[in-house]
Structure 1
Amino acid sequence: MTVPSNVHVSSHPLLQVKLSQLRSSSTNTKETRSLIHEISTILGVEAFASGWKATGTGKTDHTPLNLEYETQCIDPANIALVPILRSGLGMIDAISDLLPSPVPVYHLGLFRERFSFQPVEYYNNLPFHRPEPGSEVNKSAASVAVLLDPIIATGGTAEAAIQLLRDWGVQRVVLLSVLGAEDGVKRAATCWPEGVEVWIGAVDEGCNDKGMIVPGLGDIGDRLFVAVGK
């Protein structure tokens, strides 16, 4: 199995064990939510360690021993979290908790049409501020969008979300996902290769005729929100 160079598949042993537990049909909703949170935390640590670094702010503070030190910040600071509804909501708290300060959270509502598997947009709250005269820059856009979606199956939804973020004006998209199918991951990674990084827990071989990853995790949105059998 080969993936593009901008796809990073985790080899963390703790993540792999948790993913194995998540695959089980006996894992209940509470356990599913906890495992998604824990896997997302590991993915976030790996992604942030590679893509960003702490830099000095020039500001100082004092330790409990009254010793002065220079405070640090994350560069770039202009970050937004963008979960894809529904299942991306299960990853927000994990990634938010990792960041040293609050960042905006914007939502994209995309569902996959049942027969064509094509993405359909039904909600988008990315802010838009009209550019200054003579400029095409949307100043409301974040520099980096951390796109959250536990599953990349056919890749159509991820590709559509990336294009929406690119049109919004981001310079970089970091897509965090728990599990993907090989072709879908390739599709997401290559739709904007110079601007996208994919950090993923594991990659399965493919999808069945219903567009579900096999062996996969089932419908993770249903499992997170007790909607099985809808």
Structure 2
Amino acid sequence: MAADLPSNVHVSKHPCLRAKLSQLRSENTNARETKLLIHEIATIVACEALSESFDAVPHGVGRSPLGYDYNAETITPSHICLIPILRSGLGMIDALQSILPLPVPIHHLGLYRESSALGVVEYYNKLPDQKTRSSDPPTTPASAPTAPGPSHLAIIVDPVIATGATACAAIDTLRDWGVHRIVMISVIGSTEGLKKAGEKWAEGVQVWVGGMDEALDAKGMIKPGLGDVGDRLFLTAGR
């Protein structure tokens, strides 16, 4: 299946993740267990994704508790932000924050799929106003002060890529905002949705996902999928 995907789409083969994904699929998994499993799966996928997204660079000399000097390192690029897609993307933020060695800004983006035509509506956008746009990515380490301007790397987190419409809308919004690169991290995606997301801005986007299902139903939900992750996390099913 994965061989048919664009080269910038990566589906995890981690055996522990696959077992956790099976647990997450179950209708008997409650909200507390759902939150924990999404956190754990997001951690595994993020470790795989970020290992390909950053470089380690020298960052001066540190001193250990025993008084020995060592060559310190940090990550580059310098200007990074996290973009959770509301609501369910909030369930993945802690996992990313626990992996990144330094705090990064979190900019919330609210998108929902309109039910009748499966179009996408943007209802919330907290991206800072960035009027300057540079063609060259910044090269200073991540701990250096970040100057005003577009982010070098935006990390989108959203548990499900179903039709791909929301993912593509988020990519368009961030590209217009001025980011240089996007890494999209998800728990599960459909073949159709992953193809659309990967092809939207092929040279600027890398998509990393924990698992892939082939089919969508008439409502645009993944089969067998995970259901509505936002409803499962926040106990709002049937609203």
Checking the alignment, whether the CA contact within 8 Å between 1:177 and 1:199 is kept in structure 2 is: yes
Equivalences, count: 227
User: What is the aligned-residue RMSD (CA, Å)?
Assistant: 1.6
Structure 2 unpaired stretches of 5+: 137-146
Structural mapping, 1:110-121, within 5 Å: 110-121=111-122
State the AA in 1 paired with 2:159. P
State the AA in 2 paired with 1:81. L
Match of residue 29 from structure 1:
31
Structural mapping, 1:119-130, within 5 Å: 119-130=120-131
Q: Deviations over 1:68-107 (max 9, x none)?
A: 1121111112110000000000000000110111000001
Match of residue 197 from structure 2:
188
Q: Structure 1 residue 65: deviation in Å?
A: 1.3
Match of residue 102 from structure 2:
101
Match of residue 85 from structure 2:
84
Match of residue 231 from structure 2:
222
Q: Structure 1 residue 136: deviation in Å?
A: 8.7
Q: Structure 1 residue 115: deviation in Å?
A: 0.7
Secondary structure of 2:163's partner? coil
Match of residue 161 from structure 2:
152
Checking the alignment, whether the CA contact within 8 Å between 1:128 and 1:141 is kept in structure 2 is: no
TM-score by length of structure 1 reads 0.95
Q: Deviations over 1:181-225 (max 9, x none)?
A: 101110011010000000001110021001110010010110011
Match of residue 19 from structure 2:
17
Q: Structure 1 residue 64: deviation in Å?
A: 1.3
Runs of 4+ in 1 over 6 A off after TM superposition: 135-138
State the AA in 2 paired with 1:31. E
TM-score by length of structure 2 reads 0.92
Secondary structure of 2:70's partner? strand
Checking the alignment, whether the CA contact within 8 Å between 1:127 and 1:140 is kept in structure 2 is: no
Structure 1 unpaired stretches of 5+: none
Corresponding position: 1:175 with 2:177: no
Secondary structure of 1:51's partner? coil
